């Protein structure tokens, strides 16, 4: 149906432009993702992936568990999928798209029978040939099995029969595997399987040294590194580390990898290890790894704490290690943002720093307080916060901040008047009252505590 027709049926239909190039790129990336399953992967048309799983089924404990694992992993990526396992690429492609159930596994002997019920669109023919077949009355693939071949070839051309033979396995159809981007990888296999942490650390050190030489030669640094350990029973254990800035220092990388050794379960032993640099970037000017130590054992000059930051980030997860950066807002709670820390020293520009007195800590969110006020424009005479009553003896203010009406319409006309108040014990509080300006009759404003000085 056309877009106009669809819009007539559903008036609030949302239509966006298609992006075929982006889709193709995404499909390529998804195809590369399947390298965990098998080294031979290829895209199939515009919306599918072929994976040659010959010899892979036993690693997952059988064909059905393998398909279940694939489905689970694809769903964890966020895609819905239809799977099919068959003897020939053509049959698998046809079943994945046109079978009744989302996941089909057919054995070689039942192939002919399983394909018989599929429509002719499953043969991956061009639209004119599909139309011709339909006009001639062939609705299913099975109808083509026993038709004499010569008249069919004369009417429709050779491709129909070629596709049919490929689907049935009579003609070979090789799958061209995609070649992944040149990734730096080093592999070492061991004479005897290793299982101890010390042996793993030694192997890691050897691999890291080799990888770092290649990285240095290319002038690149690693950002994402995967260590794949192939166990004796055939499974692959992987650990992955990330760094905040490109790194080619073997000490740094091996320290990050050594921290993850406890995650690896060696089982009966690890017989080979591969270190792959999944993401590499061009490195900036080399930072000297030694430290200048001054007279009193005080580190001077640029001290390299990027290894510490990477270790913390790998240990705690993303977003936990950050630097406060100023943001363009005069409201105190929005005047700063968190940026990931990268180990290089930054300096906050003094222009955006506020020149009004501000507390070192802000309560988030501001806590409401009960106040007793003297007058409408006067600071309160006492207030109650967290069940403690404080009598105010001095107050400085007000500092008026308008709420940001240019971001959303709700706070239009709402102002905050900040007061620095001191109580009888000398404690200083930063309280504010928040009220819309042009309210008639004026309602009593809400008072909040935003921080302590």
Partner 1 sequence: MKRHDPDTILLLREQIARIERHHGASGAGRRLATGLDDLDDHLKGGLLRGALHEFCGVRQDRALCARPAHFAASILARHPGQIVWLSGTPLDLHADGLHAAGLSPGRVICVEAASSGEVPALCEDILREKGLLALVAELDTPLTLTTSRRLQLAAETGRVTGFLLHRPAHRQGDRPLPPSACHTRWRIGSEPSILPFSPTALTPPPGPPRWRVELLRQRAGRPASWLFEVPEHDTPYSVSLASPLANRSVASPSSRHLHVAGAGAALP
Site track 105-144 with partner 1 (rule: CB under 8 A), x = hit: ----------------------------------------
| Stretch of 64-72, 107-115, 193-201, 353-361 lying at the interface with partner 1 (CB under 8 A) | 353-361
Total residues at interface with partner 1 (CB under 8 A): 70
Q: Concatenated DSSP letters for 369-420?
A: -EEEESSTTSPEEEEEETTEEEEEEEEEEEEEEE--TTT-STTTTEEEEEEE
Instruction: Answer yes or no whether residue 331 interacts with partner 1 by CB under 8 A.
Output: no
Please list every residue from 293 through 312 that binds partner 1, using CB under 8 A: 295-300, 303-305, 308-309, 311-312
The answer to whether the CB of 53 falls within 8 A of the CB of 85 is: yes
Please list every residue from 401 through 430 that binds partner 1, using CB under 8 A: 420-422, 424-428
In degrees rounded to 5, what are phi and psi of residue 326? -75, 145
Q: Can you name the residues that pair with 292 across neighbouring β-strands? A: 300
In degrees rounded to 5, what are phi and psi of residue 92? -65, -45
How many whole angstroms separate alpha carbon 385 and alpha carbon 369?
A: 5
Closer of 190 and 453 to partner 1 (Cβ): 453
Residue with tokens 């819309």: 436
Output the smallest distance, CB 203 to partner 1, in A: 24
Among 234, 374, 400, 446, binds partner 1 (CB under 8 A): 374
How many whole angstroms separate alpha carbon 290 and alpha carbon 303?
A: 8
Output the smallest distance, CB 448 to partner 1, in A: 15
The answer to whether the CB of 231 falls within 8 A of the CB of 269 is: yes
Among 170, 236, 287, 316, binds partner 1 (CB under 8 A): 316
168: helix, strand or coil: helix
Output the smallest distance, CB 433 to partner 1, in A: 14
Instruction: Answer yes or no whether residue 178 interacts with partner 1 by CB under 8 A.
Output: no
Q: What angle is formed at CA 73 by the lines to CA 67 and CA 75, rounded to 5 degrees?
A: 100
| Footprint on this chain of partner 1 (rule: CB under 8 A) | 291, 295-300, 303-305, 308-309, 311-312, 316-317, 320-326, 332, 335-336, 338, 341, 345-348, 350, 353-364, 374-375, 378-379, 381, 385-386, 388, 390, 392-396, 420-422, 424-428, 451-453
């Amino acid at each position: 149906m056309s877009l106009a027709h669809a819009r007539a049926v559903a008036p609030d239909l949302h239509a966006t432009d298609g992006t075929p190039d982006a889709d193709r790129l995404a499909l390529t990336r998804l195809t590369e993702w399947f390298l965990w399953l098998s080294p031979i992967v290829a895209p199939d048309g515009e919306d599918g992936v072929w994976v040659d799983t010959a010899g892979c089924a036993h690693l997952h404990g059988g064909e059905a568990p393998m398909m279940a694992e694939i489905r689970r992993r694809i769903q964890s990526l966020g895609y819905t999928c239809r799977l099919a396992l068959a003897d020939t690429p053509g049959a698998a492609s046809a079943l994945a798209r046109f079978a009744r159930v989302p996941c089909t596994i057919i054995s070689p002997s039942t192939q002919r029978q399983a394909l018989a019920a599929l429509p002719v669109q499953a043969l991956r023919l061009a639209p004119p040939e599909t139309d011709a077949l339909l006009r001639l009355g062939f609705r299913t693939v099975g109808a083509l099995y026993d038709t004499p071949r010569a008249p069919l070839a004369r009417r429709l051309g050779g491709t129909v029969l070629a596709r049919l033979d490929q689907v049935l396995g009579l003609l070979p159809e090789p799958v061209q595997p995609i070649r992944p981007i040149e990734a730096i990888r080093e592999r070492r296999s061991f004479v005897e399987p290793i299982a101890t942490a010390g042996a793993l650390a030694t192997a890691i050190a050897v691999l890291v040294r080799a990888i770092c030489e290649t990285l240095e030669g290319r002038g690149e640094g690693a950002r994402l590194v995967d260590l794949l350990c192939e166990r004796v029973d055939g499974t692959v254990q992987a650990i992955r580390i990330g760094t905040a800035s490109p790194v080619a220092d073997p000490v740094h990388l091996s320290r990050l990898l050594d921290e993850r050794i406890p995650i690896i379960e060696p089982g009966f032993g690890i017989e080979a290890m591969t270190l792959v640099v999944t993401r590499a970037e061009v490195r900036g000017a080399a930072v000297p790894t030694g430290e200048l130590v001054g007279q009193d054992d005080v580190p001077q000059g640029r001290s390299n704490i990027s290894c510490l930051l990477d270790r913390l980030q790998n240990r705690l997860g993303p977003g936990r290690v950050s630097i406060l950066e100023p943001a363009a807002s005069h409201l105190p709670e929005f005047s700063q943002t968190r940026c990931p820390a990268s180990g290089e020293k930054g300096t906050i520009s003094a222009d955006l720093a506020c020149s009004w007195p501000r507390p070192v800590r802000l309560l988030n969110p501001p806590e409401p307080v009960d106040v007793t006020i003297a007058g409408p424009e006067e600071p309160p005479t006492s207030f109650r916060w967290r069940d403690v009553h404080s009598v105010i003896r001095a107050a400085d203010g007000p500092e008026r901040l308008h709420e940001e009406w240019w971001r959303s319409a709700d706070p239009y006309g709402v102002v905050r008047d900040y007061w620095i108040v001191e109580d009888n014990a000398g404690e200083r509080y930063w309280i504010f009252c928040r009220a819309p300006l042009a309210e008639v009759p004026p309602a009593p404003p809400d008072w909040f505590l935003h921080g302590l000085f």
